[in-house]
Amino acid sequence: MSENQPGTVSIPAPKKSRKKLWIIIGFVVLLFIIIGVASSSSSPNSSTTAATVNSGTTGTTNAPGSTPTTASKPHLGATEIVKDQNGHAYTVQAISVTDPATASDQFNAANAGDRLVAVNLVLTNKSSAVIQDDADVTTTVVGSDNQTYQASFDTVNGCTNFNSGQFTLTAGASSSGCVVFDIPTAVKVTSVVFQPTTFGSNVVATWLVP
């Protein structure tokens, strides 16, 4: 007669169940490793991104109101756009500089030790309004001595002084004339400057000579 009672015998877990459990654990660990590697490879490189964003965005635009460098200033013959006190646009072309220029008569001769220099300008109205100003006031020249010279109001042969310096441009009209300067013989004209007589105007056209 058997002495074993029901429920008193321990039955070991099947080997197949333990093997299956270790396979599941290994699969989970492998899955976490794969996810970690994928996340690391997809993260952006911060230094490369910064270089891409910053590339070409600085050093290419001049600051508003900055003074143009010598290299950026046009030479004689170039056409520049300016505006009158009402914001109406017109163009100014410095055609040439006659140096020395011949006075129209003895009363317009240069002072002793000086010579006459004439700047030939062409003005064209690009707006639908009437534009008026005085070329003898708006035009100056800069000498090799770094001094700015104002118009002398003299007249020379071969070129009129507008209407005693004043000009009136109707819509689309053009006018040409010369502004004359009395310059010391030892000084060379290095640039021509045109600035409309507008209060607080910061629109300045400059041409290098020659």
Per-residue pLDDT reduced to its tens digit, 89-133: 999 999 999 999 999 999 999 999 999 999 999 999 999 999 999
Summarize pLDDT for 33-91 with one digit per residue, the tens: 666 655 554 444 433 222 222 222 222 223 333 444 444 689 999 999 999 989 999 99
**Domain annotation for the chain: domains and CATH numbers:** 73-208 (2.60.40.1240)
Taking alpha carbons only, the member of 170, 142, 169 closest to residue 70 is 142
State the DSSP string of 126-164: -SSS-EEEEHHHHEEEEETTS-EE------BTTB--TBT
Position 73 scores a pLDDT of: 82
* Model pTM above 0.85: no
Supply the pLDDT for residue 203.
84
